[in-house]
A and B are shown apart, each in its own frame.
Chain A
């Protein structure tokens, strides 16, 4: 069964450093997402990406964040200068969305980011 894969599973970084989280969405999906889950809290939407551009972003997704689809398979989330409060589990998802029917998003296993 197709799945969304994320690397690395864990990342520890020093405050102020840049990190790149990587994802390989399901190949025939056109919509890609990043979500964040701070430990013990809800799953928060960060950004959606379609047709090689951001289609929507939340207020969490400020100038420190960026996303990119550098080739035909990878989808990345970059945090330019990490803060302690960026420590969280980051989930990538992809979706075969048309608007005409209810399709689910498929989620990766997540990358646990720890900023020290």
Chain B
């Protein structure tokens, strides 16, 4: 069965530093992958999704993710963190018609 694993339940970076949130998937077929963000007391918002058209996917708010089949990874990055990026980030995979979420990574931005 398809699933995703997020490494690190909490990640702290300094403002202006690189953000790297890790996600690995397990799938025997090319997966449909997503990154969602949840700001405090809000719902889930799509950051980006993998469509197989390109391995490097650009999303909103300067985030991007690279699909690496050889590493079964779909890590999320942003070159320069901003205070407003503090949130919970969920990697997710489509399993049939439903979407299954990883456990989430809380991103803390240090001033």
Contacts and interface: CB of A to CB of B under 8 A. Distances in A.
A74 to B, nearest CB: 18
Nearest to A106: B46
Interface stretch (A12-20, A42-50, A79-87): A42-50
Give the size range of B's interface with the partner.
Answer: 20 to 34
Interface stretch (B16-24, B74-82, B96-104): B96-104
Nearest to A102: B32
Interface in B32-68: 32-34, 36, 42-46, 49-52
Interface in A85-107: 91, 93, 95, 97, 99, 101-102, 104-107
Nearest to B45: A107
Contacts of A50: 97
Nearest to B97: A97
Contacts of A99: 97
Contact of A42 (B32, B99, B101): B101
Contacts of A101: 51
Contacts of B44: 43, 91, 93, 107
A91 B52 CA distance: 28
A49 to B, nearest CB: 10
Interface string B70-111: 000000000000000000001000101111111110000000
Contact of A45 (B46, B52, B98): B98
A102 B49 contact: yes
A64 interface: no
Contacts of A75: none
B42 A42 contact: no
22 contacts: A31-B97, A33-B98, A35-B101, A41-B103, A42-B101, A42-B104, A45-B98, A45-B100, A56-B96, A56-B98, A93-B44, A95-B97, A101-B51, A102-B32, A102-B49, A102-B94, A104-B46, A105-B99, A106-B46, A107-B44, A109-B43, A110-B43
Interface of A: 31, 33, 35, 41-45, 48, 50, 55-56, 91, 93, 95, 97, 99, 101-102, 104-110
